[in-house]
């Protein structure tokens, strides 16, 4: 994803709160090598920018017939609810 701050391409890291809403997002990209190791830069992104980019990517994937694999807040809530129900199946019953 393109960084909103410096316009370099990088990986978007999204952090969600316990209810599944997007709380914080940042782009990680490599700036230079220090002692033979890559040095990462992190730039915070606005939540509106990240949500817009995720939606745009999902639409592009759908139009190409590809599986949508970018998780938005509402999709994450559905995934968490489904996972919780599945886990509850195997939880020991208390007497």
Listed in sequence order, the residues at least 6 apart from 80 whose beta carbon sits closer than 8 Å to its beta carbon are 20
C-alpha 47/C-alpha 65 separation (Å) is 27
Query: Which range among 8-12, 36-40, 84-88 shows the weakest confidence by mean pLDDT?
Result: 84-88
Average pLDDT, the chain: 77
Q: What is the pLDDT of residue 76?
A: 54
Q: What is the pLDDT of residues 22-55, one digit of tens each?
A: 899 999 988 777 788 888 889 999 999 998 988 8
Is residue 79's pLDDT more than 60?
Answer: no
Bridge partner list, 27: 12, 43
- Please give the helix or strand (H or E) that residue 75 lies within, else none: helix 73-90
């Amino acid at each position: 994803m393109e960084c909103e701050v410096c316009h370099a391409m990088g990986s978007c890291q999204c952090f969600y709160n316990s209810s599944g809403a997007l709380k914080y997002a940042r782009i990680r990209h490599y700036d230079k090598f220090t002692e033979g190791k890559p040095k990462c830069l992190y730039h915070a992104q606005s939540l509106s920018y990240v949500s817009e980019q995720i939606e745009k990517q999902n639409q592009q994937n759908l139009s190409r017939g590809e599986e949508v694999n970018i998780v938005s807040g509402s999709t994450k809530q559905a995934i968490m609810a489904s996972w919780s129900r599945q886990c509850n199946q195997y939880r020991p019953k208390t007497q």
